[in-house]
Amino acid sequence: MTKSPRYDRIAFVASAGTEAQAAFTQLTAAYGNCDPDKADVVVALGGDGLMLQTLHQNMRTGKPIYGMHRGTVGFLMNEYSTHDLRARLEAAHESVIHPLLMRATDVHGVVHLHHAINEVALFRQTNQAARFRILIDEHERMSELSADGIMVATPAGSTAYNLSAQGPILPINAALLALTPISAFRPRRWRGALLPNRAFVVIEVLEGDKRPVAAAADHDEVRDVRRVEVLSDRTISMRMLFDPGHSLEERILREQFGH
């Protein structure tokens, strides 16, 4: 039988909201607050925005992240409670996620590298629709897409911007990425594609001078891009902890049935 991990040293981080700050005060008084570099686990108090920020900050540390909902949107968070936190942490189930790596080349030929946990999105910068050419594993799959934008979403991000753009919800353990257009104009009926999570996606911007495009990896944005390459970075594994019965996989399943 696998022994539960021990989480003696806890680092707490909190968003600026009143509820999150009050929770931070309560929990640090009860459990102390370890330096994140020396902690066994990081507990994030806030909403999904703070969770994404915390995951980005700890992307290469291998430390597990446990979120408690003290913010606005809490899809990635557990319910808040101050009771017996160490026992909750030791009983939690772990989900491992890999970020996307975006390599965006701008109009000046400068290459920008950023990671995304939810999605890499390209979108028009002006009132004119953007035009894209799409290649998957170096094979052209669409010579021209006219749309407000397009994104590559991970399973963890499939319930965020991707879902708002009518993209599919992906089970957290699915070896898939969602390629989802944003307000496609031509071909009008194209709804996107499901790709293997090892796919190498290249999106080229057509008529970029006339129809400028920005690219964003979560919150990191690059303006006036000409070419964006996206792939799952398997060298990075991020560990998220969820209470039993409230795993990310269960949350994604519930979302598909309207709960």
Q: Could you give phi then psi for residue 48, rounded to 5 degrees?
A: -65, -30
Q: Is the pLDDT of residue 1 over 60?
A: no
**Cα–Cα distance, 169 to 161 (Å, whole number):** 11
93 and 105 inside one domain:
no
- Count CB-CB contacts under 10 A for residue 126: 10
Domain at 73, CATH number = 3.40.50.10330
Query: Is the whole model's pTM more than 0.95, yes or no?
Result: no
Q: Are residues 48 and 34 in the same domain?
A: yes
At 152, the pLDDT band (50, 70, 90 cuts) reads very high
The answer to whether residues 67 and 140 belong to one domain is: no
- Interval 45-72: pLDDT, tens: 999 889 999 999 999 999 999 999 998 8
Mean pLDDT (the chain) is 92
Each residue of 160-214: pLDDT tens digit?
A: 899 999 999 888 778 999 999 999 999 988 999 999 999 999 999 999 999 999 9
Residue 242 sits in which domain range?
Answer: 10-98+236-256
Contact 65, 11 (CB under 8 A): no
* Co-location of 88 and 132 in the same domain: no
pLDDT in tens, 208-240: 999 999 999 998 999 999 999 999 999 999 999
Please give the tally of structural domains in the chain: 2
d(CA 92, CA 215): 35
Let me know if residue 62 belongs to a domain: yes
Q: Could you tell me if 110 and 212 lie in one domain?
A: yes
Q: Is 48 a catalytic residue?
A: yes
The Cα-based distances of 88 to 39, 91, 195 in angstroms read 16, 5, 36
So what's the pLDDT on residue 95?
87
Active-site annotation holder among 35, 48, 84, 148: 48
> What is the per-residue pLDDT for 229?
98
